[in-house]
Structure 1
Amino acid sequence: MDRVRQWARGAYERVLELELSGTPSHVAVIQDGNRRYARQQGDDATDGHRAGAETTEQVLEWCRETGVDELTLYTFSTENFERPEEENEALFDLLCEKLREFADADRVHDSGVRIRAIGETGKLPERVREAVDYAERRTAGYDNLQLNIALAYGGRAELLSAARDVTREVDGGDLDPDDIDVRTVERRLYEGPTRDVDLIVRTGGDERTSNFLPWHANGNEAAVYFCTPYWPEFRKVDFLRAIRTYEHREESWRKTRARRALALVRALGGAEVGDARRVLRRFKDALPSAEREALEAEGDTEFERPAD
């Protein structure tokens, strides 16, 4: 029966792979359920974290296979400091071990994986900071796949820190309030992610994003995939389902934006459809690229037909 299940799972994976036509550039993962998995197995929490680390290695390989450019893992939040000290100390030991192991692994160097840590890493024990520095130095020259490890990370804290930095510069006369834009804030976020998040994956059954990358994900209207397996149980079929969710979300998003653009043009001054098409053609090139692509994709609609 195990062989039959493995065969069926492999066949389903191949079907999913054939169905996929696009890949998210940046995937962010909330690795939830390590401790619950350990309790279910009758093990200590540390055993669950170690099993989860094995899943992380597999996900890196799946990202390489499917062409994902950037992967961010929610590994240790600011709230996690409130967990029992002995559990955190064991987790810190595991982080040190895995960071150094990844940094020295041939598969990491062969695949050109760059490792970065994001978050308030200064709050971490010295041995973890040293392991982070080692991993970042060893992989600094790579750019095929960027792996961001979120450590001592909290999305609200990140945004508050950026807001305080902007406020100080305005108060000091170094920044004109009229010059504040998206790039002003982005330059003051934690160094690490280089792209907006396209897809958030959360394991473990909870349907919330838990203060994770709010600027990079919410601003980009990222797709979200919630699944019930605990992180150590997360399989390639779950990963492919998540990408399928992203594809469906992307298609729906483009259509929605195109419809909004048409509704806006039609509403201008009560213009007739013919006038609306002429107005649309006049300012279409000024729209964000996503909206232009959505309009051009619907080449059989009135957007592309000559005005009456």
Structure 2
Amino acid sequence: MREWFGRQVRSGYERLLRREIEGVPTHVAVIQDGNRRYARQNGADAPDGHRAGAETTEQVLEWCQDLGVEELTLYAFSTENFDRPDEELEPLFDLLEGKLREFADADRVHENGVCIRALGDVERLPERVQDAVAYAEERTEGYDRFVLNVALAYGGRAELLSAARSVLSDVDAGALSPGEIDVETVEERLYERPVRDVDLIIRTGGDERTSNFLPWYANGNEAAVFFCAPYWPEFRQVDFLRAIRTYEHRQESWRTARARRALALLRATGSAELDEARNVLERFRDALPSSEREQLDPEEFDADERAAD
């Protein structure tokens, strides 16, 4: 009876959260932490925890597609994971190989146009996993309705270091001048294919850190971050919806802060030349509380007034 009642309450809460959500992030990145601790908690071995976590991964993919998220990145295997004992690594490599091939052949993947891609130093992985990566990418390379990135043998600092070395090499060779280095110069050296800026990072398992995950695309975009206590195999849809709500609140706060900064700059200088600040205020003035909007001088943000001046 208690279990049934708990399910009913959770289902009702999920419906409430869905009604509260008005917008969703384009790109969600997940640090799937807690598989081994979940296994120990249940008297099982680490491979059992990884298998349980793989089931959660499939559910999250469905939740993303249901809500309209366009890109999902999963931190499946970090460069630090190579330090784990062989008796844990070999079953994990078997699981990665099997799931990549299973996803590549799944009807739902092809029906929903899911493009599977690997991020990281894949060549460090066993050949059987590399073959599975190639198989999944080739089977889904023509799709563009949803992108599933699987971070394998991935380390954010190593990725940035490699890009920096590549840029320096081109500068030394005379193929690139320092003045030509811009955002695109770095991004084209990070990954073979474009990756959207990360809007939301989710980490399960209780730790509150992002662990060197997608620093260029997450930190640079000031992504919202949602930390939660459940181990990855215990992650539920209600947790996912809470994460989406965190993203929405972060966006609202960001819009309000931008509008306030632009307004403060205009009032502090009184200059008619600060078009950038005026444009920001025009874009985000609706994010200001109504009491602050009512106090605005129309000339502070009205484009027609600026043109007349």
On whether the aligned pair clears a TM of 0.5, the verdict is: yes
CA displacement 1:199-221 (0-9 Å, x = unmatched): 00000000000000000001100
Instruction: Provide the residue aligned with 1:136 in structure 2.
Output: 137
Structure 1, unaligned runs of 5 or more = 269-274
Of stretches 131-140 and 295-304 in structure 1, the one that deviates more from structure 2 is 295-304
Kept in 2: contact 1:29–1:202 (CA 8 A): yes
Deviation at 1:111, TM superposition (A): 1.0
Give the alignment's TM-score, normalised by structure 2. 0.92
Kept in 1: contact 2:25–2:247 (CA 8 A): yes
Q: Percentage identity across aligned positions?
A: 67
CA displacement 1:74-103 (0-9 Å, x = unmatched): 000000000011211110000000000000
Cα distance change on mapping 1:212 and 1:193 into 2, 3 Å: farther
Provide the C-alpha distance between the structure 2 equivalents of 1:43 and 1:248, rounded to a whole number of angstroms.
38
Instruction: Provide the residue aligned with 1:233 in structure 2.
Output: 234
Q: What is the correspondence of 1:250-269 to structure 2 with a 5 Å cutoff? A: 250-268=251-269
Partner SS for 1:221: coil
Confirm whether residue 113 of structure 1 aligns to residue 114 of structure 2: yes
Partner SS for 2:130: helix
Partner SS for 2:189: coil
Confirm whether residue 304 of structure 1 aligns to residue 305 of structure 2: no
Kept in 2: contact 1:27–1:68 (CA 8 A): yes
Provide the C-alpha distance between the structure 1 equivalents of 2:287 and 2:179, rounded to a whole number of angstroms.
36
Cα distance change on mapping 1:293 and 1:15 into 2, 3 Å: same
Instruction: Provide the residue aligned with 1:272 in structure 2.
Output: none
Instruction: Provide the residue aligned with 1:88 in structure 2.
Output: 89
Q: Which of 278, 293, 302 is the equivalent residue of 2:283? A: 293
Give the alignment's TM-score, normalised by structure 1. 0.92
Kept in 2: contact 1:265–1:279 (CA 8 A): no
Provide the C-alpha distance between the structure 1 equivalents of 2:93 and 2:38, rounded to a whole number of angstroms.
19
Q: What is the correspondence of 1:146-295 to structure 2 with a 5 Å cutoff? A: 146-192=147-193, 194-268=195-269, 275-276=270-271, 278-280=272-274, 282-284=275-277, 293-295=283-285
Matched residues, number = 297
Kept in 2: contact 1:254–1:294 (CA 8 A): yes
Provide the C-alpha distance between the structure 2 equivalents of 1:266 and 1:117, rounded to a whole number of angstroms.
49
Structure 2, unaligned runs of 5 or more = none
Partner SS for 1:76: strand
Instruction: Provide the residue aligned with 1:43 in structure 2.
Output: 44
Partner SS for 1:187: helix
Cα distance change on mapping 1:235 and 1:178 into 2, 3 Å: same
Provide the C-alpha distance between the structure 2 equivalents of 1:29 and 1:154, rounded to a whole number of angstroms.
14
Cα distance change on mapping 1:47 and 1:184 into 2, 3 Å: same
Kept in 1: contact 2:114–2:144 (CA 8 A): yes
Cα distance change on mapping 1:68 and 1:83 into 2, 3 Å: same
Deviation at 1:139, TM superposition (A): 0.7
Provide the C-alpha distance between the structure 1 equivalents of 2:254 and 2:81, rounded to a whole number of angstroms.
34
Provide the C-alpha distance between the structure 2 equivalents of 1:131 and 1:18, rounded to a whole number of angstroms.
40
Deviation at 1:286, TM superposition (A): 6.9
Provide the C-alpha distance between the structure 2 equivalents of 1:194 and 1:119, rounded to a whole number of angstroms.
13
Deviation at 1:292, TM superposition (A): 5.5
Provide the C-alpha distance between the structure 1 equivalents of 2:236 and 2:90, rounded to a whole number of angstroms.
28
Kept in 2: contact 1:114–1:147 (CA 8 A): yes
One-letter amino acid matched to 1:294: F
**Aligned Cα RMSD in Å?**
1.8
One-letter amino acid matched to 1:55: T
Kept in 2: contact 1:35–1:45 (CA 8 A): yes
Kept in 2: contact 1:148–1:193 (CA 8 A): no
Deviation at 1:279, TM superposition (A): 3.8
Confirm whether residue 127 of structure 1 aligns to residue 128 of structure 2: yes
Provide the C-alpha distance between the structure 1 equivalents of 2:130 and 2:278, rounded to a whole number of angstroms.
47
Cα distance change on mapping 1:32 and 1:292 into 2, 3 Å: farther
One-letter amino acid matched to 1:143: D
Instruction: Provide the residue aligned with 1:271 in structure 2.
Output: none
